[in-house]
Amino acid sequence: MILPRLAFLSLRNRWLTALLTVIAIAVSVALLLGVEKVRTGARASFADTISGTDLIIGARTGGVQLLLYSVFRIGNATNNISWQSYQDIAHRSEVAWSVPLTLGDSYHGFRVLGTNEDYFKHYKYRGNRDLAFASGRPFDDLFDAVLGADVASRLGHKVGDRIVVSHGLGVIPQGEHADKPFRVSGILAKTGTPVDRTVHVSLEAYEAIHIDWKNGVKTPGLSPPPDAVRKLKLTPKAITAAMIGVKSKLSTFGLQRFVNDYREEPLLAIFPGVALQELWGIVGTAEQALILVSAMVVAAALLGLVTMILSTLNERRREMAILRSVGASPRTVIGLLMIEAGALTLLGVLLGVALLYLGLYFARPIIDARYGLYLPIAPLSSAELVMLVLIVGAGFAVALLPAIRAYKMSLADGMTVRI
Amino acid sequence: MSRSRAKTVRAGLHALGVDRVDFRWPGPHGFAIAIDRLTIARGERLLLLGPSGSGKSTFLNLVCGIAVPRAGVIDVLGKNLAAMGTTDRDRFRAEHYGVIFQMFNLLPYASALDNVVLPLSFAPERRKRVVRKRPVREEAARLLAALGIQGSLAIEGMAARLSVGQQQRVAAARALIGAPELVIADEPTSALDKRTQEGFLDLLFGQIEEAGATLIMVSHDDRLAPRFDRALDLCDIATIQRGAEA
């Protein structure tokens, strides 16, 4: 057991260099694992955003684009679906349920989604989990709104608060629907999906607040008061998209074909899972690049380790000669250097893992709030563990270079160092 | 010479026998040494003299089995070092040798105790010899005390913080632990002043006699000769060649 003790004493003697090397390895390992966590978290977050929905339909466009604006509230629809077409599809025999979605307005940068109460019943996420209300309930009145968890927490709203939504999507709104304020009727529990960053109102309310708007511009003097609007028939003329659930999975393909071949207007039906995969395929290139960069950082840290050992070799030749004189074989000298390198790498890896979890603990709420990315604090996956074992192995392996050099030096020096 | 040591030396058993050894360091500036014959009796104290560059260190490397001759026999305690494999030579050196260097010969980051017990990590038989009498670290502390190193600060503190004289005594304790048959000393007193030198040699000789070890000490200081059983000039027993002529 003398080698580990000697390695420990020797490293303690060079504690500052050793500490810096360990920190360099730890930071690189934390970065590599962090990228991996974000990657798997983002993938899971994407995949978990919607479940239980068999088809999403919208105006004809790209599948990924339809998924982005209907589910992730990213980007805009190029066109709408007429209410008639939606009704035609929703009433087909193979359809079990359908949820209309209308987008366009915003509230303090959060999207406002027009839908109906079925949304709270049929929208599922993360393995068929239902939406739950943290407080309040779904729409009761025409001008009721249900807030996602992030909207409520970020803006400090509670049930009963009054809110005024803005027309359009930009940060600088084109105008406010101040004449028709909403009352917060409910706040949804946190889901870790774009639902958290959405303000939900009824389709009828969406119609009501736009009753005096023509071609994106408010018509002066034509704004009826809210009570008068309540008496009007508020059937929408068009919606942005719809979520569809079928009675039998076997009929999904037939329904998709029906929608894609719809004669009255050009429509598109997508499988959410397939579109998610397609979307991930696009993001995948950046993902690979990120992993590559992180791997390079780890390689650089290991190179630093080799440099540290190599740079101290000359001043340690006497130490090697002393070891040789007391019976240590050249292999022992190699072993000593490899144990040192392995121990530094192992410490670096352990510190890196600790840094990762510490970083996750503190950064998770910020990442969740700012980017909507839910990163669970979970144990390391087997792939991550394999990666760490490989890094420790690499730490031992890279020490071979200075170790062989030390071996040659100790053979040449014998017991007398000629420096 | 004490009675027991004289008996051992007179017995005619040799600790080291060198016979027609020929060695050359590799490289373009290779240094070559050839020794026809040299015998050192068990228990003998031999002083090997020679100026710098006379091949003393090369000779010690050969005797310790770190350098291997191109030809000839180096017989140590009845074993031919030149015929042994690397691992066997390393093990043999660990079991039967104690080496004292000129200076800075301790692991600076380890304590005096750690330095003294170090050889036992590579020599299981030598370790057993120690353990039969007392625990290893206790024996190390006893040896250090016998050589004048006492106090927890000196024993447990980093060796680099000891004075040169103290370091040499720690090195002597390291060479003597487990009573190796052969003690090799490479100019161990050259860094010491005259008074410290005398004191160190007294302590060293006392411990060597107690252990019954053979001492081969190289030095360029022929004033030390009266303290030894025999003094030899390396130039008289070895032929040296340098560079291309080697």
Half-sphere exposure of A98 (CA within 13 A, CB side): 23
User: Of how many residues is chain B composed?
Assistant: 246
User: How high is the pLDDT of residue A109?
Assistant: 87
Report DSSP letters for A213-249, one per residue. EETTEEPTT----HHHHHTS----SEESEEEEEESSG
Residues of A with CB below 8 A from B121's CB? 1-2
User: How high is the pLDDT of residue B22?
Assistant: 92
Q: A329 and B87 in contact by Cβ < 8 A?
A: yes
What is the residue whose two structure tokens read 């990657």?
A: A39
Q: Is A151:A110 a contact under the CB 8 Å cutoff?
A: yes
Confidence of residue B190 (pLDDT cuts 50, 70, 90): confident
Name the closest residue on chain B to residue A13, using Cα atoms: B109
Distance of alpha carbon B176 from alpha carbon B204, whole angstroms: 9
The model's pTM is 0.67
Q: Judge if A96 and A215 occupy the same domain.
A: yes
Distance of alpha carbon B34 from alpha carbon B31, whole angstroms: 10
If one counts every other C-beta atom within 10 angstroms of the C-beta of residue B61, the result is 23
Superfamily holding B3-245: P-loop containing nucleotide triphosphate hydrolases (3.40.50.300)
Name the closest residue on chain B to residue A332, using Cα atoms: B122
- pLDDT tens, position by position, B125-165: 999 989 998 999 999 998 888 888 887 777 788 888 888 88
The crossing angle, in degrees rounded to 10, of helices B136-146 and B164-176 is 130
User: How high is the pLDDT of residue A171?
Assistant: 53
Strand-strand pairing, A198-202 and A110-115 = parallel
Q: Judge if A104 and A201 occupy the same domain.
A: yes
CA angle A8–A10–A14, rounded 5-degree value: 110
Q: A326 and B61 in contact by Cβ < 8 A?
A: no
Q: Judge if A202 and A306 occupy the same domain.
A: no
Whether residue A279 lies inside any domain: the answer is no
Half-sphere exposure of A317 (CA within 13 A, CB side): 16
Residue B206: in which H helix or E strand, if any?
helix B194-211
Q: B60 and A416 in contact by Cβ < 8 A?
A: yes
Pick from B26, B106, B122: which is nearest to A328 by CB? B122
Whether residue A419 lies inside any domain: the answer is no
Q: A318 and B104 in contact by Cβ < 8 A?
A: yes
The conformational region for residue A308 under phi > 0 = left, psi -120 to 50 = alpha, else beta, is alpha
Beta-carbon contacts of residue B61 (< 8 Å; ≥ 6 apart) = A414, A415, A416, B67
pLDDT at A247 over 90: yes
Distance of alpha carbon A26 from alpha carbon A355, whole angstroms: 8
For A51-89, letters b (16+ CB in 10 Å) and e give ebbbbbbbbbbebbbbbbbbbbbebebeebbbeebbeeb
Whether residue A276 lies inside any domain: the answer is no
User: How high is the pLDDT of residue B210?
Assistant: 83
pLDDT at A172 over 60: no
Residue A381: both structure tokens together? 């996956």
- Which range marks the domain in which residue A341 is found? 2-46+284-413
Q: How remote is the C-alpha of A42 from its chain's centroid?
A: 3
pLDDT at A218 over 80: no
Q: Judge if A37 and A101 occupy the same domain.
A: no
Beta-carbon contacts of residue A409 (< 8 Å; ≥ 6 apart) = A313, A317, A320
Q: Is B83:B65 a contact under the CB 8 Å cutoff?
A: no
Residue that wins the pLDDT comparison between A186 and A219: A186
Confidence of residue A374 (pLDDT cuts 50, 70, 90): confident
Runs of H (alpha helix) within A91-242: 118-122, 149-155, 203-209, 226-230
Q: Judge if A333 and A362 occupy the same domain.
A: yes
Q: How remote is the C-alpha of A17 from its chain's centroid?
A: 37
Whether residue A275 lies inside any domain: the answer is no
CB–CB contacts below 8 A, A to B: 75
Q: For all residues of chain A together, what is the average pLDDT?
A: 85
Distance of alpha carbon A320 from alpha carbon B28, whole angstroms: 24
Q: Judge if A313 and A264 occupy the same domain.
A: no
A209 DSSP 8-state letter: H
Strand-strand pairing, B31-41 and B238-242 = antiparallel
User: How high is the pLDDT of residue A418?
Assistant: 47
How many Å lie between the alpha carbon of B2 and the closest alpha carbon of chain A?
29
pLDDT at A326 over 60: yes
pLDDT at A419 over 50: no
How many Å lie between the alpha carbon of A12 and the closest alpha carbon of chain B?
8
Distance of alpha carbon A159 from alpha carbon A145, whole angstroms: 9
- pLDDT tens, position by position, B62-87: 998 888 899 999 999 999 998 888 88
Q: Judge if A119 and A254 occupy the same domain.
A: yes
Phi (first) and psi of residue A115, to 5 degrees = -160, -165
The crossing angle, in degrees rounded to 10, of helices A382-398 and A400-413 is 20
Pick from B57, B106, B118: which is nearest to A2 by CB? B118
Q: Judge if A115 and A239 occupy the same domain.
A: yes
User: Of how many residues is chain A composed?
Assistant: 419
Q: Judge if A114 and A195 occupy the same domain.
A: yes
- pLDDT tens, position by position, A88-114: 999 999 999 999 999 988 999 899 999
User: How high is the pLDDT of residue A26?
Assistant: 92
Q: Which of A181, A168, A175, A170 is nearest to A219 (CA)?
A: A175
Q: Judge if A391 and A243 occupy the same domain.
A: no
Domain limits, chain B: 3-245
Phi (first) and psi of residue A216, to 5 degrees = 80, 10
Interface test with B, best of A415, A418, A419 (most B CBs within 10 A): A415
Answer with the one of A227, A246, A270 that is the final residue of a domain.
A270
Runs of H (alpha helix) within A63-156: 63-70, 83-90, 118-122, 149-155
The lowest-confidence range among A40-49, A56-65, B116-125, B218-227 is A40-49
Name the closest residue on chain B to residue A329, using Cα atoms: B90
Answer with the one of A239, A270, A301 that is the final residue of a domain.
A270
Q: Judge if A217 and A104 occupy the same domain.
A: yes
Q: Judge if A261 and A398 occupy the same domain.
A: no
Phi (first) and psi of residue A22, to 5 degrees = -60, -40
Q: What is the ipTM of this complex?
A: 0.75
Q: A325 and B122 in contact by Cβ < 8 A?
A: no
Whether residue A278 lies inside any domain: the answer is no
